[in-house]
Amino acid sequence: MVLFILAAAWVFCRVSVSVAQDDTRDVSIDSVIKASGISAQLDVLAETMVALFPADAFRDSRTRKEVLDYVKKTATPDSSVAALRAAIHKKYDQDKMEKVTDFFQSKVGRKAGRIQGAALAPSLLNSLREGRKEAASQHESRLELLRRIIHGQKVSEANARLRESAVRGLLEGATGEEDRHGRKARSRMKSLEAYLQLPEDRGGETSMVAFSITFRTLDDKELQELATFQESEHGSWFRTVVLDGLDEAVYQVARALGEAVKPGPNTAPQKAVPEMP
């Protein structure tokens, strides 16, 4: 009996320590998610994805609002944060997390976090279409810093992954099918991707325009610090775990959006998801 009590006490202590560690990690993770601006991005993720559809995709503004309300209710910012938190937990590294935290608590890190918080605003889509002069007006040394940041964040690879998740989520939500690898699914994904207002990145031009606009308020010295962070081992780790979480968050929001535009038994077909082969 004494041995049983001691064993039970040992297990309880181990569980208690584990729970306490998880709680501490959650606080640390949530703090970084907020400081880096990612939580602000997740707050507007639904609006941004709806904004990717052409203006005539919905019957009227009321229909558009109803779809957006459904998506917000089904795939909430809290659920997106939970997906991101889970992804960071899976590959958690205490030393790297502390370094990431230190950066986002620095003067430049705080400023970069505030700026990145607005990086998914729907208005940025219009800025991308109209802002090529912004990048062209930058001097070469500043463009090189922006290239380092873009390369450090592996923007091209990340965009391709998130684009695929968005399209897959839309299709699976709208059709109820989960055939991710068949010829029919690939054909549908290509058709939908062409239909959406997804800016094409011609040799990194769109990324350069986007980063020129996003970081226009950072001076060259601040850009240098941000580039150094992105190129660091802990910056690379943070990018990887965040992308895993964003991938899941984008899929969840896109699937809810696909469900929202899928015609019900008593509703007329919507144009938001076009006929596809």
Asked if residue 164 is part of any domain, the answer here is yes
Q: Indicate whether 3 belongs to any domain.
A: no
What is the greatest pairwise CA distance in the chain?
A: 79
Instruction: Domain count for the chain, please give it.
Output: 1
- Comparing CA positions, the residue from 45, 268, 81 lying closest to residue 169 is 45
Domain hosting residue 118, numbered range: 27-261
Q: Give the C-alpha separation, 233 to 228, whole Å.
A: 10
Instruction: Please indicate, yes or no, if residue 266 is contained in any of the structural domains.
Output: no
CA-based nearest residue to 246, from 114, 153, 176: 153
Give the per-residue pLDDT at 56. Answer: 74
Q: Are 253 and 169 in contact (CB under 8 A)?
A: yes
Tell me the pLDDT tens digit for each residue of 66-117. 999 999 999 999 999 999 999 999 999 999 999 999 999 999 999 999 998 8
Cβ atoms of 263 and 186 within 8 Å: the answer is: no
pLDDT digit of tens for each residue in the chain (277 aa)?
555 454 444 444 444 444 445 568 899 999 999 999 999 999 999 998 888 777 777 888 898 899 999 999 999 999 999 999 999 999 999 999 999 999 999 999 999 999 988 877 766 656 655 556 666 677 899 999 999 999 999 988 898 898 889 888 988 888 877 655 545 555 666 666 666 655 556 556 778 888 888 898 999 999 999 999 999 999 999 999 999 999 999 999 999 998 887 654 434 344 444 443 3
- Asked whether residue 268 is domain-assigned, the answer is no
Report yes or no on 8 lying in a domain.
no
User: Does 243 map to a domain?
Assistant: yes
Position 61 in a domain: yes
In a domain? residue 275: no
∠ CA 76-79-80, nearest 5°, is: 90
